[in-house]
Every structure is written in structure tokens, then in C-alpha cells.
Chains A and B, each alone.
Chain A
Amino acid sequence: DGGITQSPKYLFRKEGQNVTLSCEQNLNHDAMYWYRQDPGQGLRLIYYSQIVNDFQKGDIAEGYSVSREKKESFPLTVTSAQKNPTAFYLCASSMPTWRSLGGTDTQYFGPGTRLTVL
């Protein structure tokens, strides 16, 4: 089965702690993305990576960090500098037009991780 997995599904963090959210895909997609979702806010882009060992900040990157050492994996670390980390986090991946069949830049999403700060 091809797809995107995120773990854990629920995560609790104490104030001042760093936590890492996992995102893995076996779709052979080049690009991966992290979004944050808050009620009534839609999806806001945190970071994205178009290729291994490269990534770009999104609209709300402050307080977050990422790495892209492998094509299949794009972990997100929520640092203690993130003032309001309680949210639903979604990971996605996509393949560019010239390599896809009938689709282009279509993003496929994982099931999400709900992070709660205690």
C-alpha cells in the first residue's frame, strides 16, 4: 500500500520541551510539506522540501525546524520557541508534472498528528 504515514496520532508536550513529529511516504514523491491547522484558519504552510537535503520556510516557520536526509522522510520538530504549538499538524507530498501521470503537483496528505501542550 502506497501512502503517507504520520506518527504519533496524538502527542502531548510539556512547556519548554522540543518534540518531533514523524512523516514518512512510500509514494516516491520528491516534495514534502508540513502544514499547521487551527480551527477557522485553514492550512498554513510551515516548511516544504522539493528535494533531499533542501527545504524552504513557509509562512509560519518560526519555532519549527525540519530535516530532509531521505526522500521518504520529512520530520518536523516543534521547539520550545514556538509560543502556541497546540494544533493539528498535517504532512503532504507531491510529484512534479513532468514525472506524474495525469496529475501535477497534486498533494496527498497523511492522517495528521494532534499536538497538545500541557
Chain B
Amino acid sequence: AQSVTQPDIHITVSEGASLELRCNYSYGATPYLFWYVQSPGQGLQLLLKYFSGDTLVQGIKGFEAEFKRSQSSFNLRKPSVHWSDAAEYFCAVGAGDSGNTPLVFGKGTRLSVIA
């Protein structure tokens, strides 16, 4: 069975600083990996996803993530954080091989941005 660990519950960064949110997954085969963002009281919005190919994937809002199979990681990065990036971020893993199987989500990392 798949599992996801987001080691950081809460991160605070200064506006303009770089950001890295960590995600470690457990899955025997090649995983399908996702990052979602959630603003307070809202649904989840897809930031980016990895299925195969280039291990560095680009997403919306200037985010990128790198899949490292040897480390079972899929960390999310942004070179310069904006105040509007303050939100909760969820990493998720899917099996994908059988189609339409539920994703397994991490518990999330809350990002605060200070001036």
C-alpha cells in the first residue's frame, strides 16, 4: 500500500525567499505523484504532477518539483515566495496502474509567509 510523509507540519518563510517543501512516499512500483495547494476554507488545487519522463516537473504559480527515486522523494520548490503563496500544501501518491484508484495524501504542510 502507498503512504506519504510530509515531515514539516508548519514552515515560515520570508517573502522573496526560496522554498522547499518535503515529501517522502512509499510505494513498490513507479508512483504517480502530485502536489496540491489549499487556501483556507477552499478545495484543493492541483499544482503539478509526475507520471514518467523528466524527473523535474514544472507546475503553476512558479512551482516545480523533483522526483528522486533513490530517495523516495518528491520535494516541491519555488525560488521566490510571494505572500499569496501562504496556504496548506499536500503531497499525494497514486498507484495508477489499475486506473482511478484513490490517491493517498500526506497530512499537509502549512506555509506562512512573513514580510
Contacts and interface: CB of A to CB of B under 8 A. Distances in A.
B28 interface: no
Interface of B is mostly: loop
Contacts of A42: 90, 105-108
Interface in A60-118: 88, 90, 92, 94-98, 103-112, 114
B100 A109 contact: no
A109 B105 contact: no
A64 to B, nearest CB: 15
Interface size class of chain B, counting residues whose CB lies under 8 Å from the partner chain: 20 to 34
B102 A48 contact: yes
A96 B98 CA distance: 9
Contact of A105 (B101, B105, B106): B101
Contacts of B106: 42
A105 B90 contact: no
A95 B103 CA distance: 13
Contacts, number: 65
Contacts of B108: 40, 42
A41 B107 CA distance: 5
A107 B43 CA distance: 12
Contacts of A107: 34, 46, 92, 103
B43 A90 contact: yes
Nearest to A49: B100
Contact of A43 (B41, B90, B96): B90
Contacts of B32: 104-105
A97 B96 contact: yes
B9 interface: yes
Interface string B1-28: 0000000010000000000000000000
What 4 pairs between A and B have smallest CB-CB spacing?
A: A96-B99, A42-B107, A31-B100, A109-B43
